[in-house]
Structure 1
């Protein structure tokens, strides 16, 4: 049990909370960045079976977001980790 009157415990909790928040902000940033990248890629991938209708544009936006989320969840690009390190280095209050 953590003693709430112990300043060292409060500081440790704050650091842990800040690190977790920085990690989440990094992951969110990576997902948004990759979604935009995937959307641009899909624009240039050629016309699909649906043609260039509104339905295809809507489908492509969902597809781009799903691909980006999978890539971000895998943690293989290093974008989220870089953002997390930057936020924690500067006192990270995302």
Structure 2
């Protein structure tokens, strides 16, 4: 899948800054999506957004290929920092009692 995502990022620059655009283009190229509508039962066989986003992040962050524009990278970095902070604040208190 990483090779396919890299191919999409290379051929369609608009997919570099939007995971939704990447998902739609991936479905069009590799899953034969022809219309703007998806049969809900077909969702079970289509690639998931999370998998495509992880592949895109690996290509852009580790391999430094097909980078998004500066504003998109800045926004993603800010969202990542906010999510990390929210996860740290949302830890269980550890006050479990035993019987």
State the TM-score, normalizing by the size of structure 1. Answer: 0.34
Larger RCO (CA under 8 A, 6+ residues apart):
1
Structure with more of its chain in helix, by fraction: 1
Give the greater-gyration-radius structure (CA): 1
